[in-house]
Amino acid sequence: MSLLQSLLGQNSLLDSFWGNSFLDTPDAQMDWKETPHAHIFHIDLPGLRKEDVKLEVHEGSVLHITAERKEEAEADEKGVKWHCRERRVGAFSREFRLPENVKVDEIKASMHDGVLTVTVPKDEHKKKTKQHKAVEIAGDAEQSHASKGLGRFVCCKA
């Protein structure tokens, strides 16, 4: 909690600005671009490992991302005094409604340097189906180079 938040109290106007979800805070910023072949999400998750993040597709059209940042274990040291604690801990989530023309079975995800990259391939011939699917997140060693190109920037909060 920041000094300003502690002075104003937990239920202040700042709570509506910062939100209650880590994935809605400035340190979890997101880019979503569309290429001719895929939708690509880049989500900043600083300090998290791929084991801390869960990625699922619900009902064949909702990309659901959950993460958990755990509080660091503190040693019982005499004379230790915190002056500022702003990094949030706890469980967090964010959802994105996907277009109808995606290949849910071919979604790929990787995590590199605290950035989650999710690639959702497009399929112009696919009809919408309701599915629930977990997506495995690859780590730094398994990082593949994402396609580079210009796509339009679309930002939304579900």
Phi-psi domain of 114 (left: phi exceeds 0; alpha: psi -120 through 50; beta: other): left
pLDDT tens for 15-49 read 333 334 555 555 578 999 999 999 999 999 988 99
If one counts the domains in the chain, the total is 1
Question: Does 2 reside within a domain?
Answer: no
At 56, give phi and psi (nearest 5°). Answer: -140, 160
Question: Does 152 reside within a domain?
Answer: no
Which residue positions in the chain have pLDDT lower than 70? 1-27, 73-76, 126-131, 141-158
Question: Does 138 reside within a domain?
Answer: yes
The pair of three-digit structure tokens given for residue 41, joined into one six-digit string: 């999400």
Question: Does 9 reside within a domain?
Answer: no
Residue 14: predicted pLDDT: 37
Report yes or no on whether pTM surpasses 0.75.
Answer: no
120/143 Cα distance (integer angstroms): 16
Q: What is the CATH number of the domain that holds 66?
A: 2.60.40.790
- How far from the centroid of its chain's Cα atoms is residue 146's Cα? 17
Residue 124: predicted pLDDT: 75
Residue 10: predicted pLDDT: 45
Domain membership of residue 122 as a residue range: 15-70+86-142
Cβ–Cβ < 8 Å for 122, 102: yes
Residue 3: predicted pLDDT: 45
